[in-house]
Chains A and B, each alone.
Chain A
Amino acid sequence: MIIQLKGVEKKFGNVHAVKPIDLTIKDTFVTILGQSGCGKTTLLKMLAGLTDPTSGEILFDNQTIFSRSKKIHVKPNKRQIAMVFQDFGLWPHMTVFDNVAFGLRGKMSKSRRSDIVHDALQKVKLEAKAAMKPGELSGGQQQRVALARAIAINPKLVLFDEALSALDAILREQMREEILTIVQSIGAQAIFVTHDQTEAMAMSDSMVVMDSGDVVQTGSPEQIYHSPANPFVANFIGKTNWVEDCKKMIRPENIHLHPYKHTTVKSGVVKKSMYEGDRYLILAEADGYIWKFYDSHPHEQGRDIKFYVEENYIHSLEKKEALS
């Protein structure tokens, strides 16, 4: 499905929650990334039809589903979408089965409904819990029920609103993979809203980065990581070494402790070594800047150190700004 936003904006009184956005989304897995309060959830809710844009148009496959000027407003339940919420949004008084079956009510016979629900619960490996109430399940299991409810109605698009934020770290990584597999299996598209950059990069074909109501950059995770459009994106996604005050930057993995081709050498003093589980992040001072890079073992504080910067990977932000 091709999702088009034309001049979509949202104001709450005087607050410009989402500034006018023009955007076309074609990829299967898309992430909207930003800090809390940047307008990403509002944008998602406008796509779902839970909030109306103040102005602009939204099109799904060239069909207008919202337009203030044309007075078109397709209701959320008619947009062929599903949604998974941070706090799950399961109905506490219904069993797991009834929660998943809810979206199918009035659409098909009881036996077909039952088949689909069992199928969906099987996909999320929760068939055994069908008769339980959401309150009796763990957070991860509740999120699976929410996922089953979403895929049961066979949507073209599934929206995830900070869907993994309420889960603990291990469960989160496990669910990432599962969500991707399941959404792919029903041939749907997915849009994730998150503030977690690792999650965003791991889960998506393309990313939409937002900052205070504006879309600041779109592109594949690799593009955004290697050529951020502005200092905000550079700092927000991954670790950054600034070469000239907010004008040129280089990522830590492009600085080495041994000479390579096209490298320039710097001499500095070790400030700190921080253990990250699989490697150490070394902070060293040189030319009046703090440089970050990785090594497999710690370096003693105050020691002199030589490191090599790959010239080709120094990314200039000024050029980008000039282009845009």
Chain B
Amino acid sequence: MLVRRQAPFIILFITISILALLPLFAVLGYTFFEDGGLSFESIRLILHNNNIMQTMQNSLLLGLYVMAATTCIALPLAVIRTKTFLIKSKWLDILFLIPFMTPPYIGSMGWILFMQHNGYYEQIFTQEAPFTFFNVAGMVFIMSMHLYPFLYLMLKNALLRMNGSFQEATLIYGGHPLLNWIRVTLPLLLSSYVMAALLIFIKTLAEFGTPATFGKRIGYDVFTTEIHAYLSRWPINISGATSLSLVLLSACMLIWYIQNIISRKYTYGIHSGKSPSTASIKDSILIRYMSIGYVSLILGLSIGVPYFSIIVTSLLNIRGEALSFSNLTLRHYGELFTVGSSSFQALMNSLSFAFAAATIAALIGFCMALYIFDAKRKSQQLLDFTSLLSNIIPGIVFVVGLILFWNSALLPATIYNTIWMPILTYIVLFLPYSVQYTKSALSQLHPSIHHSNAIFANNYSVILLRVWLPLLGQGILAGWMMTFIISMRELVGSLLILPPSVETSATFIYSQFEQGDVAKGMAMAVITVLLTILCIFLMERLQRKALHTS
């Protein structure tokens, strides 16, 4: 009886344990257990290493800088999008998603190609840049240009929710607009801001693409690149990698914990039923031009420049020669799509791994979301938390754990060195997306739908086929697409975990950029971002449709 009632939980918990929990325990075990006994030797060694202290400092400083820079970019943007005539331009939000969805290593490569010696900047302006780009500031800039949309969207949504009767009440009871802003808007905005900013911090700590490309050039090592180096550079130092992973993990958990406390304490229900009237907004010409100018500047810097660089590079016949129409060619794309070439093979690998990972993740995520439902019971909360672990814990930590776990001598069989390894890795890393998309589709339904199901349906398969699939289908599909696009271009896991002589588009771009034919790599990058943008538009349409029907 008990076992039968708990069966869904047990099955799901075993699944999530194999996927995520056991690999994490493998990291712990490898660090703290030596010859069957508890040992703090390896973590002590790591902490006494001067290099490591430098790395830690680098990572944390980078996080702080990026947090500050994204704030400077995103706050004005959010204000412009909610308080000026641009409030109606919903399509802008899709554009702002593009830099966020662009793989950071591709954006970073775009900026490197643009700013490097003899790069496109010097070719266009026929002079050297008046400032040095290749330093920490440049790196902060590139990462902020990738991450600001996240902060912007959170702030914009918070501001929009505040518009209705809150705004009207402030107009009636408040004083000077600036004082109203300070007394009402900012405090209500604070919790959204802190939550988003801390997530930016975590994302910066966990980021691999930019440090691996740009950071490497300026000699700025961070956690992720160090861990990668420990595992890929001779002599391989596994305990170094696990110890460093643990430090990174603790830092992220700590920040996440702080964020939780803040959000619990300072989050208010700032939903007001009435939507604001947008017709009354009349801006002065100056504000109009400044808004348009600022939005264009940000879009130009975050999309225009890097996309220009990668597209031009992928089209150039001979690099180093002038930018002219006679120097353009589609040769690199031709090679890319030649059946049997290594690049074509890499692209196909990426697509098929991503397809498998997205499909399995969607299935698991759907079951998880249905079980978690409203997260009232302890077992539901436990699954909710574990299924979202990879949102908090940096991907590279999971990758280290997965390598250790699937190489463990205790396992009767292993998928290590097979193509299932990258697929499994992508599932682990991106499971939160499919869980969250399904959960949010579920939460938009009236709570009594569940009661209706319980009372009127004669068996569970009817509920599944007639209610959940049609109602949640769009959410599941959106989650599937999200998992598909980010799996397709995932870099750090692929670098470490792919079986020998198997390449994906991400590792192909990386290796061609580092030592090979940059043009070929950039052609692949263009294909990757085109697929990404296509998926963003499809997802946008799906979600709009889903909102329309419910």
Contacts and interface: CB of A to CB of B under 8 A. Distances in A.
Interface in B448-497: 448-449, 451-452, 454-459, 462, 466-467, 470-471
Interface string B433-456: 000000000000111110110111
B448 A102 contact: no
Contact of A135 (B447, B457, B549): B549
Interface in A23-57: 45, 48-50
Contacts of B448: 85-89, 161
Interface in A97-124: 102-103, 105-107
A281 interface: no
Interface string A298-321: 000000000000000000000000
* Chain B contact patch, size range: 20 to 34
Contact of B449 (A71, A89, A135): A89
Contacts of B126: none
User: Which of under 10, 10 to 19, 20 to 34, or 35 or more describes the interface residues of A?
Assistant: 20 to 34
Most buried by A among B451, B466, B471: B451
Contact of A92 (B1, B447, B454, B549): B549
Contact of B454 (A49, A105, A161): A49
A17 to B, nearest CB: 14
A41 to B, nearest CB: 11
A83 B470 contact: no
A237 interface: no
A118 B11 CA distance: 43
B89 interface: no
B550 interface: yes
Interface string B165-182: 000000000000000000
A82 B456 contact: yes
Interface in B49-70: none
Contacts of A91: 449, 452, 466-467, 471
A139 interface: no
A282 interface: no
B454 A87 contact: no
Contacts of A135: 549
A89 B452 contact: yes
A87 B444 CA distance: 13
Contacts of B470: 93-94
B471 A103 contact: no
A153 interface: yes
Contacts of A107: 458
Best-buried of A92, A107, A161 by chain B (most CB within 10 Å): A92
A109 to B, nearest CB: 15
A149 interface: yes
Interface stretch (A73-81, A272-280, A286-294): A73-81
Contacts of A49: 454
A90 B452 contact: yes
Give the residue among B456, B457, B550 with the most A Cβ atoms within 10 A. B456
Most A-side CB within 10 Å, residue of B458, B459, B462, B466: B458
Nearest to B462: A105
A45 B449 CA distance: 14
A45 B448 CA distance: 11
B1 to A, nearest CB: 7
Contact of A103 (B1, B445, B456): B456
Contacts of A82: 455-456
A87 B466 CA distance: 20
Contacts of A161: 448
Contacts of A94: 466, 470
B471 A77 contact: no
Contact of B456 (A50, A88, A153): A153
A194 to B, nearest CB: 16
Contacts of B458: 77, 103, 105-107
B454 A75 contact: yes
Interface in A170-212: none
Contacts of B451: 45, 48, 50, 76, 83, 85, 89
Given A87-B448, A88-B448, A91-B471, A77 B466 contact: no
B266 to A, nearest CB: 25
Given A50-B451, A102-B466, A105-B462, A93 B457 contact: no
Nearest to A100: B456
A50 B447 CA distance: 12
Contacts of B455: 48, 50, 76-77, 81-83, 103
B549 A77 contact: no
B446 A87 contact: yes
Contacts of B467: 91
A84 to B, nearest CB: 10
A150 B458 CA distance: 14
Interface centre among B454, B455, B457 (most CB of A within 10 A): B455
Contacts of B471: 91-93
Interface in A107-147: 107, 135
Nearest to A81: B455
A49 B455 CA distance: 8
A96 to B, nearest CB: 14
Interface of A: 45, 48-50, 71, 75-77, 81-83, 85-94, 102-103, 105-107, 135, 149, 153, 161
Query: Which 9 pairs show the lowest CB-CB distances between chains A and B?
Result: A89-B448, A103-B456, A85-B448, A89-B452, A76-B454, A76-B455, A106-B458, A87-B446, A93-B470
25 contacts: A45-B451, A49-B454, A50-B451, A50-B454, A76-B451, A76-B454, A77-B457, A82-B455, A83-B455, A85-B446, A87-B446, A87-B447, A89-B449, A89-B452, A91-B449, A92-B550, A93-B471, A93-B549, A103-B455, A103-B458, A105-B458, A105-B466, A107-B458, A149-B452, A149-B456
Given A48-B454, A77-B456, A149-B452, 12 more contacts: A48-B451, A75-B454, A77-B455, A83-B455, A86-B448, A87-B447, A89-B446, A91-B449, A92-B471, A93-B549, A94-B470, A103-B456
